[in-house]
Amino acid sequence: MLSIENWINNINSNKRLIENGRWLNITFTFGIGDKDYLFEILSGNVLSIIEYLPIFNTKWNF
């Protein structure tokens, strides 16, 4: 599996992704297996990816 820095470099080096996402500003979680990651994207560029550790281990019902 790639390191987080490699993920950021691979995503940000894809010019088509950056062009298509140039208006995208978002922070979201993304799960891979049993790990969750917090992505921060500004103007289509990935600023950071950190392993997400929720403060509260609460199940949500909507």
Query: Is residue 10 one of the residues assigned to a domain?
Result: yes
Query: Is residue 40 one of the residues assigned to a domain?
Result: yes
Query: Is residue 60 one of the residues assigned to a domain?
Result: no
Contact of 1 with 51, CB cutoff 8 Å: no
Exposure letters 27-62 (e unless 16+ CB within 10 A, then b): eeeeeeeeeebebebeebbbeebeeeeeeeeeeeee
What are the tokens at 2? 């790639």
Q: What integer pLDDT is reported at residue 52 of this predicted model?
A: 78
Query: Is residue 61 one of the residues assigned to a domain?
Result: no
pTM of the model: 0.75
Please report the DSSP string for 16-47 in residue order. Answer: HHHHHTTT--EEEEEEETTEEEEEEEETTEEE
Query: Is residue 36 one of the residues assigned to a domain?
Result: yes
> What is the per-residue pLDDT across 12-22, written as a single tens digit (0 to 9) for each?
999 999 999 99
